[in-house]
A = this chain, B = another copy of it.
């Protein structure tokens, strides 16, 4: 059964999902990342949760996982074309977050 939506916003929020999905996608929008790089940029997420969210995003066709099958392993994550089509959404989320932080004084630190 295909789910029926009553507003396009409902559909987008279903796909972009909760906090971590959007944050992962926003980082990958800036370019390929290795797993460890994502971990470093997202100190608030557990290893288990990051792995789960990445698998979901892969299954949904938004993120691609490139495994170069080398020793030591070298695995990179990047946005697919469908994931890249979310760029205006991710940019809008980013811009508003910055403005809100400036207005309210909530700290938004760069972990890098």
Chain B CB within 8 A of A2 CB: yes
Nearest chain B CB to A93's CB is how many angstroms away?
4
This protein's copies in its complex = 2
Q: A96-B86, A107-B2 are in contact. Are A101 and B8 (CB under 8 A)?
A: yes
Asked whether, in the complex, the Cβ of A107 is within 8 Å of the Cβ of B18, the reply is no
Chain B CB within 8 A of A9 CB: yes
Asked whether, in the complex, the Cβ of A13 is within 8 Å of the Cβ of B93, the reply is yes
Asked whether, in the complex, the Cβ of B88 is within 8 Å of the Cβ of A92, the reply is yes
Asked whether, in the complex, the Cβ of B6 is within 8 Å of the Cβ of A111, the reply is yes
State the A residues within 8 Å of B (CB): 2-16, 18-19, 22-23, 26-27, 41-44, 85-86, 88-101, 106-111
